[in-house]
Structure 1
Amino acid sequence: YALSFNLLVPSETNFLHFTWHAKSKVEYKLGFQVDNFVAMDMPQVNISAQGEVPRTLSVFRVELSCTGKVDSEVMILMQLNLTVNSSKNFTVLNFKRRKMCYKSKEFIYQNDPVHAAPTTSTRVFYISVGVCCAVIFLVAIILAVLHLHSMKRIELDDSISASSSSQGLSQPSTQTTQYLRADTPNNATPITSYPTLRIEKNDLRSVTLLEAKAKVKDIAISRERITLKDVLQEGTFGRIFHGILVDEKDPNKEKQAFVKTVKDQASEIQVTMMLTESCKLRGLHHRNLLPITHVCIEEGEKPMVILPYMNWGNLKLFLRQCKLVEANNPQAISQQDLVHMAIQIACGMSYLARREVIHKDLAARNCVIDDTLQVKITDNALSRDLFPMDYHCLGDNENRPVRWMALESLVNNEFSSASDVWAFGVTLWELMTLGQTPYVDIDPFEMAAYLKDGYRIAQPINCPDELFAVMACCWALDPEERPKFQQLVQCLTEFHAALGAYV
């Protein structure tokens, strides 16, 4: 099928890959249109311009090469004409792309008089000056050697004590010793900070339990108002219950709720982290966010965190349940439904970005869903305990969602809205795979090197190329080159509309 909207191709992306195959004989003709040949050459492909669509799953590559002559956004149209049954069934597919091209240094220097090639007389002048400087430099070296030689003779006449004192002063200072940073192996250039992004560091361990309780004291309620029913999820030290919350003014009114709590063996640090991480979205109001509403921190009771109830629960568990029933009921969840979920998550994250709130742990496991397929982002309290396979310790005594983290977060522990965009790309991949684990074959300790070398998770089966291109844009190494959440909302909304039109 063909989509009507144009998809942005980042400047560093020079190749597009398309997966195709046909169950029966289908003939094709392939052509391209470019609106600015000054900025871009005609696209090249590694297949013939016409032929027969392969019967097995195959991939062909389109090369988009900028000329480097001008800065421009180039519109590219790839037209694929398909003929079935000897021209009785004729279909035209138009794939539209926008490629960012920038002027290369070579052309900048050619057009810049400051960098213009010097004339012959200018070269002669520069050579003369260079020779004079070399002669002066040699004379200075000779004079310095003679001076040091004379000073050495004077030192030989000095007393032994003066000589030993002079030797002591000539020892190198230990303060000048340099060490390689642990995050720059093999002298690699470290990931730099980008001043236009608001960057945070993780500092949860610096909060005490008393401080954590003080921050939520204003929303604390009596334990008597909470009734615990079924256990929805359980980990080593934490649990999530389906609970009932009694109204404060009218005891006859009740509301369903999620109740996060801990077991008796939970440590003080684990309790502190549950309370602190639960406050991440507190005070924020958006249809796609699920902040806490109340807590219970009474003495002698296990601390509890209360959130509004969503009857289909955790999004990751829901997706995996869909995958289990997919064989018996393939229409249970459609691709259009999954894209709609992605739009809702992007809307919630766009709101957080505007409020300058950084989530730091966006993933399907930290979203919930109801029976109308409404998705809401929640905090990551207890996620490390309830989804232990999604978190890894890299030797710094902190469990982190390594497979969802941007490179600058892995290497420098830096988080921003751009690193949340990276995590959104992985979350989108989770949606399209119905809850599979990303980078499942990669050692967590090798993730940073793997990403730095340019490797990413593979395109999911049955995932449209346009949707995978959105994911790839989220995984740009440079945080500044990743799309903003508002752009993702717009792009996915157009994609969702195109899917509806196709159906």
Structure 2
Amino acid sequence: MSEEEVKKLLGLDAELYYVRDDVVNHYALSFILPVPSDTNSLHFTWHSSSKVDYRLGFQVENTSAMDQPQSNISAQGEVPRTRSALCIGICFFIYFSCVFGLCVLKYTAHLCVCLISGYPSLRIEKNDLRSVSLLEAKAKVKDIAISRERVTLRDVLHEGTFGRIFHGVLLDEKDPSKEKQVFVKAVKDHASEVQVTMMLTESCKLRGLHHRNLLPISHVCIEDGEKPMVLLPYMNWGNLKLFLRQCKLAEANNPQAISQQDLVHMAIQISCGMSYLARREVIHKDLAARNCVIDNSMQVKITDNALARDLFPMDYHCLGDNENRPVRWMALESLLNNDFSSASDVWAFGVSLWELMTLGQTPYVDIDPFEMAAYLKDGYRIAQPINCPDELFAVMACCWALDLEERPKFQQLVQCLTEFHAALGAYV
């Protein structure tokens, strides 16, 4: 999608692409694209250097809200060898959610087009802006800075408005024949100095901490004239929230779908990492599945929240105070008084446990973010997930006690979940 088209839809000077030079933009495949109600067409450019067949179809959930989309190409055929225009005509009668599905051979691109009257805020949290300049942020990570030449970027794993996460390769400093895989967090060329500074400062949240269930930064690239990059050890199944959602999609057709015991094991690992942070008197403030990663051995690690607001914009909301916050994961005292503690992290852990048991669903999805504080104060909470054992939901409920002293400590959660995991194993 051209810069002009993205500018029209999102008001941003940026491109949106799905496959380019045989590199798949995995995040774009599930990108939530807000489309203004006065938009009557979407324009894409497509071509292939080799023979690729395609099949095109549309699904409309409510035809009273939206006409069946029309395109300037046939329902099936061969992808053109030269750069060509693909136009999809749309007509909306009222604000309503709909889904486009575009499949090109083995590459599948899903655009979830949500018509909304406003967009989620992309403002920077004022608490992160304090008085830290870009020079100061760079100075704090100077001791782990490496040459940009040692880093090779591969696939885009996740992309937002101003940030990207790549799968990269880092060459060994002493022996270039040796290499290791890394996550690379980077900002785009149009990112502001404030956004660059924010990425660097938030990336340092877990720096210097060592635990098997934490993933702190390992290196940075901060050379003059180049946008900074942050490197973290690679976890080959990637972001936990995206992984859970993939599991949900595959659940019906996968005889080896992820088990309840696996999910509880993930929860134990997260609680172990958080217990370590609590002992070190470190408050995370943004614990959620989106800020965890996982590998193919089911090892889970907690990460910082650098770029999270940009990569998961629908999980953050501005309540009129210039702070873009994870409202649906926050404890009541954090919402009302901006008070954060290990106890508020416990609350967020309860919501994260709910995310695990629902395979990545969004909590409180039907509640207006502006009404969350009143909703919680009145004693309401998210419902027990389907097929979630009563004992496990009771653990979640304890995490959401209004009285901070009534919430369990992380070490208690580790013990409780470990015992529950063992009990599940006894029935397998």
Length-normalised TM-score, structure 1: 0.60
Q: Aligned-pair distance for 1:214?
A: 1.0
Stretches of structure 2 that go unaligned for 5 or more consecutive residues are 1-124
Q: Which residue of 2 aligns with 1:370?
A: 295
Q: Does 1:474 align with 2:399?
A: yes
CA distance in 2, matches of 1:358, 1:479: 15
Q: Does 1:316 align with 2:267?
A: no
Q: Which residue of 2 aligns with 1:304?
A: 229
Where 1:455 maps in the other structure, the secondary structure is coil
Write out aligned runs for 1:121-136 (5 A).
none
Check whether the contact 2:128–2:198 (CA below 8 A) recurs between aligned residues: yes
CA distance in 2, matches of 1:410, 1:273: 22
Q: Aligned-pair distance for 1:202?
A: 7.6
Check whether the contact 2:331–2:348 (CA below 8 A) recurs between aligned residues: yes
Check whether the contact 1:202–1:413 (CA below 8 A) recurs between aligned residues: no
Write out aligned runs for 1:147-186 (5 A).
none
Check whether the contact 2:126–2:323 (CA below 8 A) recurs between aligned residues: no
Where 2:230 maps in the other structure, the secondary structure is strand
Q: Which residue of 2 aligns with 1:239?
A: 164
Check whether the contact 2:126–2:322 (CA below 8 A) recurs between aligned residues: no
Q: Does 1:438 align with 2:379?
A: no
Query: Considering only CA atoms, is the larger Rg found in Structure 1 or Structure 2?
Result: 1
CA distance in 1, matches of 2:373, 2:142: 40
CA distance in 1, matches of 2:255, 2:244: 13
Q: Aligned-pair distance for 1:203?
A: 2.8
Where 1:260 maps in the other structure, the secondary structure is strand
Q: Which residue of 1 aligns with 2:271?
A: 346
Q: Which residue of 1 aligns with 2:203?
A: 278
Divergent runs of 4+, >3 A: none
Q: Aligned-pair distance for 1:355?
A: 0.4
Match of 2:129 among 184, 205, 210: 205
CA distance in 2, matches of 1:369, 1:415: 26
Q: Aligned-pair distance for 1:331?
A: 3.0
CA distance in 2, matches of 1:315, 1:291: 16
Check whether the contact 1:240–1:261 (CA below 8 A) recurs between aligned residues: yes
Q: Aligned-pair distance for 1:264?
A: 0.8
Check whether the contact 1:213–1:297 (CA below 8 A) recurs between aligned residues: yes
| Greater helix fraction, Structure 1 or Structure 2 | 1
Q: Does 1:397 align with 2:319?
A: no
State, as a whole percentage, how many aligned pairs show the same letter.
Answer: 90
Check whether the contact 1:348–1:376 (CA below 8 A) recurs between aligned residues: yes
Q: Which residue of 1 aligns with 2:408?
A: 483
Q: Aligned-pair distance for 1:330?
A: 4.7
- For these two proteins, the number of residue pairs brought into alignment is 303
CA distance in 1, matches of 2:158, 2:225: 23
Q: Which residue of 2 aligns with 1:154?
A: none
Q: Aligned-pair distance for 1:428?
A: 0.1
Q: Which amino acid aligns with 1:350?
A: S
Match of 1:493 among 418, 421, 426: 418
Q: Does 1:253 align with 2:172?
A: no
CA distance in 1, matches of 2:280, 2:170: 30
Stretches of structure 1 that go unaligned for 5 or more consecutive residues are 1-200
Where 2:165 maps in the other structure, the secondary structure is strand
* Structure 1 vs Structure 2 CA RMSD: 1.0
CA distance in 1, matches of 2:350, 2:126: 21
CA distance in 2, matches of 1:445, 1:203: 20
Q: Which amino acid aligns with 2:335?
A: L
CA distance in 2, matches of 1:330, 1:341: 20
